[in-house]
Amino acid sequence: MRPSHIEHIGIAVSNLEEAIRYYEQVLGLECYALEEVKDQKVRTAFFRVGETKIELLESTGADGAVGKFIEKRGQGVHHIAFAMDDTDKALKEAEAKGVQLIDKTSRKGAEGLDIGFLHPKSTFGVLTEFCSHK
């Protein structure tokens, strides 16, 4: 397995609109999509920076992954997502190499991507996501 590029960097923020203003007005990027992912209890905003995207994540439920992250660690980089050919295949390969998975099989994430997470305890403290278009 080898990722083709960093698909996106997920950043946990307390207030999506305030964070969008920073990325637009200071960095000059354009928010091209806003999406709520109910399953993950987040509202997201996307910006393109070359081939990579920035995904801002605002919690919509304190018991969700991002709600708990902000409560415990504050705002900041939440995960790194690698673009793979096939998320399910990559998850299986990582598991075979002894990595602890959060998702055994892919699920649907923002932008209709097939996504799956590796546990940060197994990846040197960085929550790692694989994603692909099937």
Positions in the binding site for ligand CMX (CB under 6 A)? 10, 37, 40, 42, 44, 55, 57, 65-66, 68-69, 72, 78-79, 102, 109-110, 117, 119-120, 125, 127
d(CA 84, CA 102): 17
The sign of the dihedral angle between the CA atoms of 79, 132, 38, 23 is positive
**Cβ atoms within 10 A of the Cβ of 30, count?**
10
Quick one: 28 or 63, whose CB is closer to ligand CMX? Answer: 63
Cβ-in-10-Å burial (0-12, 13-18, 19+) of 134 comes to: exposed
Quick one: 44 or 87, whose CB is closer to ligand CMX? Answer: 44
Quick one: 119 or 134, whose CB is closer to ligand CMX? Answer: 119
Smallest gap from residue 31 Cβ to ligand CMX (A): 16
